[in-house]
Chains A and B, each alone.
Chain A
Amino acid sequence: MSELPGDLQYTSDHEWLRREDDGNVTIGITDHAQSALGDLVYVELPEVGQEVESGGDMAVVESVKAASDVYAPISGTVVAVNEGLADDPEAINNEPYGDGWIVRLQPGDAEGDLLSPDAYQSLLDELDD
């Protein structure tokens, strides 16, 4: 499996977060997650302006195998969603850390347990045993 981007944070639910220069946080699912789900066929996105709680449902990704909730790893307000996923959900398969981003949040005050790239890599290694 390819190396994890070092500038991101991760969650045990196989999501990633990028802290942008403007203070907002971009969120997507990891390469491991997209690979386990298989070809994505549909993504349900939240409304811009919606408030999300840390650990609450935020979006849904549906593949040929399964539908899965995307949880908000932190609390906050949705400032942007990746509209392009409506026509091109496979962007998540092709570029999970790039064009396949899902939601951008303006962070609130609550944060769940976030993992460093090394800690997330150890989690993936454990799953492979």
Chain B
Amino acid sequence: MDSYLDKLIFEKSRQGRRAFAQAPEAPAELDIPDAFLRSDRPGLPEASELQVVRHFTRLSQKNFSIDTQFYPLGSCTMKYNPRVCNSLALLPGFAGRHPLGPASHGQGFLSCMYELQEMLKAVTGMQGVSLTPMAGAQGELTGVAMIQAYHEARGDLDRNEILVPDAAHGTNPATATMCGCVVRELPTGPDGDIEMEALKAAVGPKTAGIMLTNPSTLGVFERDIVEVDKIVRDAGGLLYYDGANLNAILGKVRPGDMGFDVIHMNLHKTFSTPHGGGGPGSGAVGVGERLLPFMPVPVVSKQEVDGDVFYDWLTEADLPQTIGRLSGFMGNAGVLLRAYVYMRLVGRDGMRRIAEYATLNANYLQARLRDAGFELAYPGRRASHEFIITLRHEANELHLTAMDLAKALLDYNFHAPTTYFPLLVPECLLIEPTETESKETLDNFVNAMIDIARRAREDGETFKEAPYNTPVRRLDDVKAARQLDVRFEP
């Protein structure tokens, strides 16, 4: 491999090299006071247009991505994001809108946001939606903050305990802790449901609420949800729905109908923004009646005056009990617009088909892998949109761990499933095919899994050194964690 091509763009930089055709037109007159003009050059690489094109094209070729490979990364919903969502979100009227512009100059954008709120209310069964949280974790923080505000407004000041099942995403206990609550962990039974007796023992006058993902991270639907609702509600607690797995239930079951008081939705994930690179997200929240006064602002309202429709921001003046603002303006507008376009594109019936095909694909893959000899973590349960296999026997008998198999899959040109999560299941792979994959792709994935297991069993291969064909091989996780160094200094 040509080492020059593999250098960082900073290392390729030569002073004075430019891409003239791409340079922005300089404004005729700069209206910036001298004191604020920089005197030194910015520390940016200087390269020609062709160098830049080659550099980033090669980088993209090194990447595993949904555009190039099957990406069954459990719990992440790595589905195809239609290009049209992107192109419509980038229309000049949207992209050029100034966030501080008056509402009267952004009626098109505001009407999209209002309709997005309404569609999210319809699909989740909630009474109100605020689009402001910038990511899933911020949506969670918002949700728990609203639960706290609710109890506080009632003078119920001792409720500081949040119940979290042990199968939960790590963000749930982290959120509760960040909000100053005490986390009480609930054990999971052998079939993947919450243990009811433990729940009954855990609730009480200190219970602020429970955080649940349903279907859970174990890839199964919490069957006792009505009972959970009753127990927590009777104890005076509120129910929080983690929308991480919303893809599985779209158009089928609504968290509002299950009795949840608050939900956060990862719009980037369920409603079509390319994700996984840590880029902009959206953690929109939906609330039931009891939490309506506490929603974060701004929220978009629709007013009709003399037959004219006007969309406007609701602020602190309209919602005096609001928990406040979470972002400078109203979340990540581009992600919200993509979600809007996607929801308009698929429509009500499409929502249902998303859930049906996501679930069908997961159950097909689960059945084929089971028949091929892989052990299911919850064999008695139908998968939701994802499922878990455990390689504990392969790890013991063949020295083929979940990580080894995950790395071996890369050489077959498949992205690895999620490994070692949830922690309850030893040597596990959490597999989520999503609704956008064809049967042929799923079959090829099964064939790769079978082939790796066969090579381990018959040829004694352990894949400890895999992957062999990727731009970087197996990384030193320990060194990466202990000596984190991601800064380049020229």
Contacts and interface: CB of A to CB of B under 8 A. Distances in A.
B420 A128 contact: no
Contact of A41 (B419, B420, B481): B481
A39 B396 contact: no
Given A36-B426, A128-B396, A42 B481 contact: yes
B171 to A, nearest CB: 13
Interface residues on A, range: 10 to 19
A90 interface: yes
B28 interface: no
A127 to B, nearest CB: 8
A110 interface: no
A64 B478 contact: yes
Contacts of B392: 128
B426 A41 contact: no
Contacts of A39: 477-478
B482 interface: yes
A66 interface: yes
Nearest to B402: A65
B59 interface: no
A44 B127 CA distance: 43
B222 to A, nearest CB: 23
A66 B396 contact: no
A36 B419 CA distance: 13
Nearest to A69: B185
Interface in B394-441: 396, 419-420, 423, 426
A128 B420 CA distance: 17
Interface in B251-307: none
Interface of B: 392, 396, 419-420, 423, 426, 477-478, 481-482
A42 B484 CA distance: 13
B478 A41 contact: yes
Contacts of A128: 392, 396
Contact of A66 (B420, B477, B478, B482): B420
Contacts of B477: 39, 41, 64
A94 to B, nearest CB: 13
Interface in A47-96: 62, 64-66, 68, 90
Interface in A104-129: 127-128
Contacts of A66: 420, 423
A99 B301 CA distance: 64
Contacts of B396: 128
8 contacts: A36-B426, A41-B481, A41-B482, A42-B481, A42-B482, A62-B481, A64-B477, A128-B392
Contacts of A36: 426
Nearest to B480: A64
B481 A65 contact: no
A128 B478 CA distance: 27
What are the nearest 8 A-B pairs in CB distance?
Answer: A64-B477, A41-B481, A65-B420, A39-B478, A41-B482, A66-B423, A41-B478, A64-B481
B63 to A, nearest CB: 22
A42 B482 CA distance: 8
A62 B481 CA distance: 10
B478 A90 contact: yes
Contacts of B478: 39, 41, 64, 90
Interface string A21-51: 0000000000000001001011000000000
A66 B392 CA distance: 17
A90 B478 CA distance: 9
A30 to B, nearest CB: 15
Nearest to B392: A128
Contacts of B419: 65
B217 to A, nearest CB: 14
Contacts of A41: 477-478, 481-482
Of the candidates A64, A68, A90, the one having the most CB atoms from chain B within 10 angstroms of its own CB is: A64
B231 to A, nearest CB: 23
A126 B420 CA distance: 20
A36 B478 CA distance: 15
Nearest to B396: A128
B56 to A, nearest CB: 30
A12 to B, nearest CB: 12
Given A36-B426, A42-B481, A128-B396, 4 more contacts: A41-B477, A42-B482, A64-B481, A65-B419
A42 B478 CA distance: 10
A37 B305 CA distance: 63
A21 to B, nearest CB: 35
B125 to A, nearest CB: 35
Contacts of A42: 481-482
B173 to A, nearest CB: 11
Nearest to A66: B423
Nearest to A127: B426
Nearest to A93: B478
Nearest to A62: B481
Nearest to B423: A66
